[in-house]
Amino acid sequence: MGAGFRRYSTYRQATVAGAFTNTVFGFLRCYVLLAVAAGAGTATVAGYDAARLATFVWFGQGLLAVVLLWGWTELADRIRTGDVVADLLRPVDPVTRYLATDLGRAGHALVTRLVPPVLTGPLFFPFYVPHRWTTVPLFVVSVLLATVLCFGCRYLVNATGYWLLDIRGPMILWALVSGVLGGLYFPLRFLPDALVVPLWLLTPLPSLFQTPLDVLVEIDPTPRQLWLVALQAGWVVLVLVLCRVVQRRAERRLVVQGG
Amino acid sequence: MRAYWALFRGQARSQTSYRLSFAIDVVSNVWATVLDVFTVFVLFGVTRTLGGLDLREALVVTGMSACAFATGDMLVGNIERITLYVRTGRFDAVLVRPLRALPQLVLMDLPLHKLSRAGFGATVYLVALGAADITWTPGRVLLAVLAPVGGIVFFGAVFVITASVAFWWTESGEFGNAFTYGGRDFTSYPVSVYSGWFRNAFAYGLGFAFVSYYPALALLGKRDPIGLPDWVGWVAPLVALPATAAAALIWRAGLRRYTSTGS
Amino acid sequence: MMTVIAARGLRKEFTVRVKVGRLRRDRRTVAAVDGVDLAIERGEMVGYIGPNGAGKSTTLKMLTGVLTPTAGDVSVCGLSPVRQRTRLARRIGVVFGQRSQLWWDLPLRESFDLLRHIYRVPPAEHAARLFRCRSLLDLDAFVDTPVRQLSLGQRMRGELTAALLHGPEVLFLDEPTIGLDVVSKQAVRGFLAELGATGDVTLMLTTHDLADIEKLCRRLLVIDHGRVVHDGTIEALHARYGSRRRVVVELESPSSPPEVPGATLSAVSPLRFEYDLTGATAGELLVRLAGLAIRDVSIVEPDIEDVVARLYTGVPVTDAP
């Protein structure tokens, strides 16, 4: 974990560039959503008022780099080059080891990538401060779960490389689906209930992004918040188990076929 | 000209040599723009107007932006790979050929699979034009054709400018995305949804307002709530000219910088 | 004779940032090339060597128009490299050992065809040059294979061909044999030797493999810390830096070695003497040894690696005699 943190702190310039870009997109998305709220002519849209929408957008821009929806190809690269065999020689289970590194990375991003947009947003837009003290710890837990969950999903996408020569298909599919159905482009509650409810229950995607943000802006009462976080935890367990199974299958395949 | 054609041919043959990957790219590329348009529909699911435009009117703005961005991205977008070329030193190999560096880079990497997205962008634009309530005149027909052309050139210039940053700042990473993809997002919605210095900077400082919003207003025959005169929409495509000039200047300065520092 | 590559007082400075303390960084100017003079005639084959960071690649980049010199004059084929870059590009060939000019996903044959259009070479000339390269470099076995599937040696042969198809007057080679196996190295060297023998092409190559130089180049430029420290033949380098030919004498029966003016004894055993020639020729030495029962005499040529290694490490060497 420490190694992951240190490694990412060397990419200082890329971090500055990334935080800048997240901030610009924060402005873009925030203005559009506020215009949606203004155009609707009601006090709230899908339960969000202006302050909640702005907070949703700006924390979302910061969380993007923390959960790291896109741009992780380390495992796939190591599979392609064959370096992955070296992973099997280490005493630690690969899933655990990659997860530890990823949490270190997320810790670094928490400081360098979450803070800039979260500080910028309130300077120009209304901001929602949670009213219930329980929300804060719940949000922290939810972000942690989202990070682990996102890692698991990325791991599975990368692991298709054990079987496919070219994993661009799964990669692109993941990039598209995770962004729009995770809640990055618009809060998922803008969609009709008939879509949102199955999406939330049957896919891990809203748990990646939408859940921590909704917890933060207290869209739901506490029991419902708890329920959403529990759902997230359920997905984390399921996806990590799946990672483990996939990894074991892949290892068996590597051993039998010699890579 | 024949020389540049040869570069293009080489690129086309290289890409299609991996048939399956090419097919995946062709199909998957459309989806980015499909989702952009889908987002607009979702937003209009919870509101009736956005920045003073209804769904049909807003779609003209979105379609024009999608058409301009997707085509500009296909033609020039891969210039952003210059960071890779500079970092690996392959840029030297580009410079020792008897061709100009910029067209060489563009043609060497021309991503043909993005044709699908450009096609989809154009389709959205045409459908939006058909669905919107436009009183067609010869002038409007001309504007409807010229506006996306100006937008394509404008986005091409933006790509060149943001890529040139790599000459000064090799580790610029995602920085350029704020203006390329950010520009696409900005131009997908009516400028009237933005406000303050951010709007002034993006819309008028950088010129993104003239890519889709003002031409769309002129086509729709609508007044600008921000207060610019009506003729602005008719001359908006000309924004491509200063953008191209700026891109040429910055690219040349970048090239000079490269040949004096070698990195 | 005609000077093809000319440089006077060529200098290139880079600004580097040096860490001073924990956070402060100072800008410091470093001269990578520091006053290099070059005059290379048409048809010459010149080896350009020096330790890493000595300024070899920087010089080559200034000669090919990739880098603007900070100071000094440079002309290649009578052109100013940076200002007339594209015109110059038609008249020179460049092979960067590590950066391919070929299309990664296409067969070699198609890369060659594309280059014909890019350099606008008339088909007949192109065909003639390609034919020559194909036979000299044995390309036929892999000319239809995509470049990405070629071995490094095969690829380098392709790169050489690609650099020559437009009939360049000057060929710049940056580490052309780096990473190649023995057979490929020999193929590349043999080809370059043949090319140089025609006298049409001027050849300048940087290398770390001194065997390249010994096999190919009459003239050697050694650069260190941005300055040319030697410009001349390999023999002159030996003479200047005190490397000596050694004569090893083996005897039928034990005897004591005679004193020979112009030669110093470096090793003595009852049946074997070794002399370093410091002024005498091998012939003069042998005359002095005429009275001995000699079984065998061998002359050991000085090793250029030793000389250059000493040059690089900065060990003081005896100056020119």
**DSSP structure string for A173-205:** HHHHHHHHHHTSSS-GGGS-HHHHHHHHHH-SH
Contact B20 A176 (CB under 8 A): no
Nearest to B98 among C14, C89, C110 (CB): C89
For residue C307, pLDDT beyond 80: no
Residue B261, chain C, CB below 8 Å: the answer is yes
For an interface test with B, give the residue of C114, C173, C175 to mutate (most B CBs within 10 A). Answer: C114
CA angle B66, B72, B76 (to 5 degrees): 150
- State the pLDDT at residue A220: 93
- By the CB < 8 Å criterion, does B97 face chain C? yes
Could you read off the pLDDT of A28-87 as tens digits, one per residue?
999 999 999 998 888 899 999 999 999 999 999 999 999 998 888 889 988 888 888 888
Tokens matching residue C71 = 């100071």
Q: Is the pLDDT of residue C294 over 60?
A: yes
Q: Report whether pLDDT(A237) > 70.
A: yes
Q: Convert the pLDDT of each residue in A155-197 to its tens digit.
A: 999 999 988 877 888 888 898 899 899 999 999 999 999 999 9
Residue A49 or B16, more confident: A49
Q: Using a CB–CB cutoff of 8 Å, tell me whether C80 touches chain B.
A: no
3-state SS of chain A: helix, strand, coil percent to 5? Answer: 80, 0, 20
- Among the listed ranges B154-158, C76-80, C208-212, C304-308, which one has the minimum average pLDDT value? C304-308
B56-79 average pLDDT score: 95
Q: Is the reported ipTM for this assembly greater than 0.90?
A: yes
User: What's residue C314's pLDDT?
Assistant: 61
Model confidence pLDDT, tens digit, residues C213-242: 888 888 999 888 888 888 888 878 777 776
Contacts C109 to B, Cβ<8 Å = none
Cβ B182–A28 below 8 Å, yes or no? yes
In the DSSP assignment, the letter for residue B204 is: I
Q: How far is CA C163 from CA A235, C139, C152, C184, in A?
A: 58, 14, 16, 17
Under the banding of pLDDT at 50, 70 and 90, the label for residue A10 is low
Is the CB of residue C208 less than 8 Å from the CB of residue C175?
A: yes
**Rounded distance between C-alpha atoms, residue B254 and residue B235, angstroms:** 30
What is residue A147's predicted lDDT score, i.e. its pLDDT? 97
Which percentage of chain C shows pLDDT scores above 90? 33
Query: Which has the closest alpha carbon to B208: A28, C107, C242, C169?
Result: A28
Identify the helix (H) or strand (E) that includes residue C19: strand C3-20
pLDDT per residue as tens digits for the range C196-212: 888 889 999 988 887 88
Those residues with Cβ within 8 angstroms of residue C247's Cβ, 6 or more apart along the chain or in another chain: C263, C274, C275, C277, C282, C285, C286, C297, C298, C299, C300
Going by pLDDT thresholds of 50, 70 and 90, the confidence category of residue C321 is very low
Determine the Cα–Cα distance for residues C207 and C209; give it in Å rounded to an integer. 5
Strand spans (E) along chain B: none
Q: Which of A25, A176, A190 sits opposite B46 (nearest CB)?
A: A190
pLDDT at C94 over 50: yes
Interface of C with B in 122-151 (CB under 8 A): 146
Q: Closest to A185 (Cβ–Cβ): which among B39, B193, B196?
A: B39
Residue C319: its pLDDT value, please?
Answer: 41
Q: Round to whole Å and give the CA distance between C8 and A242.
A: 68
DSSP B99: S
Contact A27, A79 (CB under 8 A): no
**If you write DSSP's letter for every residue of B112-166 in order, what string do you get?**
GGGHHHHHHHHHHHHHHHHHS-----HHHHHHHHHHHHHHHHHHHHHHHHHHHHH
Greatest CA span in chain A, whole angstroms? 64
Tell me: the pLDDT tens digits for C99-154?
A: 788 888 889 999 999 999 999 999 999 999 999 888 888 889 899 998 888 888 89
User: pLDDT over 70 for what percent of chain C?
Assistant: 94
In the structure encoding, which two tokens stand for residue C118, read together?
């890019």
Residue range B220-256, pLDDT digits in tens? 999 999 999 999 999 999 999 999 999 999 999 999 9
Band of pLDDT at residue C320, cut at 50, 70 and 90: very low
| Amino acid identity at C277 | L
Q: Check C96 against B92: CB less than 8 A apart.
A: yes
User: Three-state DSSP class for A2?
Assistant: helix
Q: How far apart are CA B262 and CA B260, in angstroms?
A: 6
Tell me if C114 and B9 make a contact (CB, 8 A cut-off). Answer: yes
Structure-model confidence comparison of residues B86 and B65, the more confident one: B65
- Angstroms from B137 CA to nearest CA on chain A: 31
> Tell me, what amino acid is at A2?
G
Q: Please tell me the distance from the alpha carbon of residue B42 to that of residue C24, in angstroms, as a whole number.
A: 51
Answer yes or no: is pLDDT of A9 > 70. no
CA–CA separation, B125 and B67 (whole Å): 7
For A15, A22, A174, C231, the CA distances from B174, given in Å and listed in that order, are 9, 9, 20, 48
pLDDT reported for residue C318: 44
Residue type, C29: T
For residue C234, the SS3 value is helix
Decide if B168 touches C, using CB distance below 8 A. no
Confirm or reject contact between C118 and chain B (CB < 8 A).
yes
Q: Which of A181, A172, A171 is nearest to A202 (CA)?
A: A181
pLDDT tens track for A105-164: 999 999 999 999 999 999 999 999 999 999 999 999 999 999 999 999 999 999 999 888
- Give the SS3 label for residue C27: strand
Helix (H) or strand (E) holding B81: none
Enumerate residues 6+ apart whose C-beta is below 8 A from B194.
A27, A28, A31, B186, B202, B203
Question: Does residue A164 belong to the interface with chain B, where contact is any CB pair within 8 Å?
Answer: no
Helix (H) / strand (E) element for C105: namely none
| CA angle, A231 then A236 then A241, to 5° | 130
pLDDT at A33: 95
The encoded tokens of residue A110 equal: 């928490």
The bridge status of strand C170-174 relative to strand C202-206 is: parallel
When pLDDT is cut at 50, 70 and 90, the band that residue C5 belongs to is: very high
Sheet strands side by side (includes C263-269): C263-269, C272-277, C246-251, C294-300
Q: Does position A243 have pLDDT exceeding 50, yes or no?
A: yes
The pLDDT mean for chain C works out to 85
Residues of chain B with pLDDT > 90, as a percent, come to 67
Q: For residue A142, what pLDDT is reported?
A: 97
Report pLDDT for C74.
94
Contacts of C58 in chain B (CB under 8 A): 262
Write out chain B residues lying below 8 Å of A37, CB-based: 47
Q: How many contacts does B have with C, using Cβ atoms within 8 A?
A: 86
- Residue A234 above 80 pLDDT? yes
pLDDT greater at residue C265 or residue A238: A238
| pLDDT band with cut points at 50, 70 and 90 for residue A4 | low
